[in-house]
Structure 1
């Protein structure tokens, strides 16, 4: 998880592509964005830490930010 936060802080899109599953579900409040490309376009800067996340094939598949609960 720290690797994702670090890559986002650096704006390292290539690292995020490796870390995010292609079918990523990203949830912040009532908004859910699906798909790695859409999430990369949506997220600006360092996100709120997740309270819940799921890995598939070693990549982040589901992310629910702390502000959601």
Structure 2
């Protein structure tokens, strides 16, 4: 897991939205379980109500997470 992804997970786990926001690209594509979202604002609102685990895949752009694909449910 890259350092940026680890920072995203840590900030989300502690609910530090101010630290999390600059780590996420404004046009973020987020897919985790049944949630399929576009845009940083929608993802931040989703994360405030739903825990997130390590992703299956992450795409970085401009030093931010641009695409997040969660692991399939086991």
TM over 0.5: yes
Hey, which bits of structure 1, 4+ residues long, moved more than 6 A? none
TM-score normalised by structure 2 residue count: 0.82
Instruction: Give me the whole-angstrom Cα distance separating, in 2, the residues matched to 1:7 and 1:64.
Output: 18
What stretches of structure 2 of length at least 5 have no aligned partner?
Answer: none
TM-score normalised by structure 1 residue count: 0.87
How many residues of Structure 1 are paired with residues of Structure 2 in the alignment? 69
Q: Is the 8 A contact 1:8 1:45 kept in 2?
A: no
Q: Does 1:29 align with 2:33?
A: yes
What stretches of structure 1 of length at least 5 have no aligned partner?
Answer: none
Structure 2 partner of 1:48? 53
